[in-house]
């Protein structure tokens, strides 16, 4: 018995090679890199070390101006650019504005990422990358996917908070009974909850990933597509379990390969750029001061970092394309009614699993009918040619008999043709 997930590996390799290297198109790689950038997201750390200074009443002094034109005595112990004198804007308002800005930024980026999920699928299936057209096409589905992801994130956050409720009294109590065993038990519980929620999220995410192509090519909603995939999962859950196991192995292999390849590349490029920066530093130090040297070197360093990031993003394109093609190739044979219009068709009809599509059987029957008609026409053509030859050589009586037989043969062929159609 052949498993669909294993067979999909070869098809994913073949489609990746055709999409990226036959022929090689640099701008196609760039477009795929842009899509992968938004799908993969950005690893950002918004935390930072700030000052703990809180202005007190003594910082403002007592000698405030009695009239216009006079300036107060500024205290000398205030750090920063006079932030303690901005009375109209509170610190909480500034913090709230910053948090709102980052929430808005994350929402916008998440929406673009959700739309790009559909753009990536369409580009791989068609083997054509039209960012603007595909983005406009899937703006609605991307918004629905964003709402589903936000709802799932809220549910997981609530589950995580509920799992920590039993430990809140222990941490709030000031009793001396709180010892190391309780702390260790709490840590094990915490990591266990995180692992369980991560596994549950991975399963739900896999169902959503399988449902997105179904939603596109069956022209249905995302939730309806998830229900369709889940119904097929109940019929052939063994195939999906094998698929998850193969995806785990592929993910580990791809991750190790990326780690080694990217590590060597970063080390090599960083060494080259470090040598260039050292040369520039000594060159600038001959006629500039230390502060101006770093001001001039900063643009070079930023360009070098962006260059390394762009190279790594381009090199990640084959890996991301292969993984997505593996998912689509598995879905193509596991759920034949997905109706995925790949740019290349399978040479042989794939196994349809538990739900078969009527389109494949209809095409096969039409081919059989066409073959029978062609053979019937060939036979009738040969009969007509034989009749013409015998009609030229035979006498009149024989010719009339042959005409009758020819008429019957013609009638038989007509009846055969009528029966075929």
- Predicted confidence (pLDDT) per residue in 270-303, tens digit: 999 999 989 988 888 888 777 888 888 899 999 9
Q: Judge contact between 280 and 293, C-beta under 8 A.
A: no
394: which residues sit within 8 A by CB, 6+ positions away? 402
Between these two residues, 407 and 235, which has the higher pLDDT value?
A: 235
**Per-residue pLDDT, 346:** 54
Return the axis-axis angle of helices 180-217 and 91-126, rounded to nearest 10°. 50
Average pLDDT of span 23-47: 77
**Per-residue pLDDT, 325:** 95
**The pair of three-digit structure tokens given for residue 410, joined into one six-digit string:** 């013609």
What gap in Å lies between CA 213 and CA 338, rounded to an integer? 7
48: left (phi over 0), alpha (psi -120 to 50) or beta: beta
DSSP string for 184-229: HHHHHHHHHHHHHHHHHHHHHHHHHHHHHHHHHHTT--HHHHHHHH
Average pLDDT of span 127-149: 94
DSSP classification of residue 21? B
322: which residues sit within 8 A by CB, 6+ positions away? 12, 13, 16, 254
200: left (phi over 0), alpha (psi -120 to 50) or beta: alpha
101: which residues sit within 8 A by CB, 6+ positions away? none
**Per-residue pLDDT, 79:** 47
Neighbours of 126 (CB within 10 A): 14
**The pair of three-digit structure tokens given for residue 206, joined into one six-digit string:** 């896999």
**Per-residue pLDDT, 152:** 94
Q: Judge contact between 12 and 109, C-beta under 8 A.
A: no
**Per-residue pLDDT, 361:** 38
Residue 31 has pLDDT above 60, yes or no: yes
Q: Where do the structural domains in the chain lie, given as residue ranges?
A: 4-41+90-338, 363-420
**Per-residue pLDDT, 176:** 56
Percent share of the chain, pLDDT over 70: 67
Please report which confidence band the pLDDT of residue 66 belongs to, taking 50, 70 and 90 as the band edges: very low
What gap in Å lies between CA 228 and CA 336, rounded to an integer? 12
Ranking 149-158, 224-233, 346-355 by mean pLDDT, the lowest is 346-355
What gap in Å lies between CA 125 and CA 137, rounded to an integer? 15
**Per-residue pLDDT, 337:** 87
The terminus-to-terminus CA distance of the chain in angstroms comes to 38
What gap in Å lies between CA 334 and CA 353, rounded to an integer? 6
What gap in Å lies between CA 184 and CA 359, rounded to an integer? 60
Q: Judge contact between 121 and 324, C-beta under 8 A.
A: yes
- Predicted confidence (pLDDT) per residue in 207-242, tens digit: 999 999 999 999 999 999 999 999 999 998 999 999
Average pLDDT of span 174-181: 60
346: which residues sit within 8 A by CB, 6+ positions away? 11, 332
Look-up of token digits 């403002």: 60
Please report which confidence band the pLDDT of residue 84 belongs to, taking 50, 70 and 90 as the band edges: low
Between these two residues, 119 and 173, which has the higher pLDDT value?
A: 119
Most distant CA pair in the chain: distance in Å? 140
Look-up of token digits 């229900």: 227
300: which residues sit within 8 A by CB, 6+ positions away? 276, 277, 280
Bond prior to 8 in cis (omega within 30° of 0): no
Round the average pLDDT of the chain to a whole number and report it.
Answer: 76
Average pLDDT of span 241-255: 94
Q: Judge contact between 336 and 357, C-beta under 8 A.
A: yes
**Per-residue pLDDT, 336:** 84
Q: Judge contact between 403 and 394, C-beta under 8 A.
A: no
Please report which confidence band the pLDDT of residue 89 belongs to, taking 50, 70 and 90 as the band edges: low
Q: Judge contact between 141 and 118, C-beta under 8 A.
A: yes
Neighbours of 119 (CB within 10 A): 26
Cβ neighbourhood burial of 127 (10 Å; 0-12, 13-18, 19+): middle
229: which residues sit within 8 A by CB, 6+ positions away? 207, 210, 211, 214, 335
- Predicted confidence (pLDDT) per residue in 301-328, tens digit: 999 999 999 999 999 999 999 999 999 9
């Amino acid at each position: 018995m052949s498993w669909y997930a294993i067979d999909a590996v070869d098809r994913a390799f073949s489609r990746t090679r055709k999409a990226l290297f036959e022929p090689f198109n640099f701008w196609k790689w760039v477009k795929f890199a842009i899509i992968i950038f938004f799908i993969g997201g950005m690893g950002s750390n918004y935390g930072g070390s700030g000052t703990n200074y809180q202005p007190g009443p003594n910082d403002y002094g007592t000698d405030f101006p009695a009239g216009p034109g006079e300036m107060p005595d500024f205290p000398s112990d205030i750090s920063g650019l006079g932030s303690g004198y901005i009375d109209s804007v509170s610190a909480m308002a500034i913090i709230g504005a910053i948090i709102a800005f980052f929430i808005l930024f994350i929402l916008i980026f998440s929406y673009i990422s959700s739309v790009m999920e559909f753009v990536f699928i369409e580009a791989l299936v068609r083997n054509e990358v039209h960012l603007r057209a595909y983005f406009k096409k899937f703006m609605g589905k991307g918004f629905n996917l964003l709402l589903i992801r936000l709802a799932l994130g809220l549910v997981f956050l609530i589950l995580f908070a509920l799992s920590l409720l039993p430990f809140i009294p222990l941490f709030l109590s000031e009793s001396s009974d709180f010892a190391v065993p309780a702390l260790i038990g709490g840590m094990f519980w915490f990591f266990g909850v995180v692992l369980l929620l991560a596994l549950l999220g991975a399963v739900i995410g896999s169902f959503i990933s399988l449902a997105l192509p179904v939603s596109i090519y069956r022209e249905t909603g995302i939730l309806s597509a998830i229900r369709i995939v889940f119904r097929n999962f109940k019929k052939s859950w063994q195939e999906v379990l094998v698929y998850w196991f193969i995806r785990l192995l592929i993910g580990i292999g791809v991750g190790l390969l990326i780690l080694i390849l990217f590590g060597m590349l970063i080390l090599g490029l960083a060494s080259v750029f470090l040598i260039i920066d050292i040369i520039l530093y000594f060159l600038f130090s001959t006629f500039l001061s230390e502060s101006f040297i770093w001001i001039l070197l900063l643009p070079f360093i930023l360009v070098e970092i962006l260059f390394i990031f762009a190279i790594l993003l381009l090199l990640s394109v084959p890996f991301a394309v292969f993984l997505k093609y593996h998912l689509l190739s598995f879905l193509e044979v596991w759920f034949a009614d997905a109706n995925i219009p790949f740019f290349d068709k399978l040479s042989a009809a794939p196994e349809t699993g538990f739900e078969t599509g009527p389109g494949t059987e209809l095409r096969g029957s039409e081919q059989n009918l066409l073959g029978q008609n062609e053979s019937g026409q060939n036979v009738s053509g040969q009969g007509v040619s034989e009749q013409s030859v015998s009609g030229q050589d035979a006498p009149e009586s024989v010719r009339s008999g042959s005409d009758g037989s020819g008429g019957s043969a013609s009638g038989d062929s007509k009846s055969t043709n009528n029966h075929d159609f």
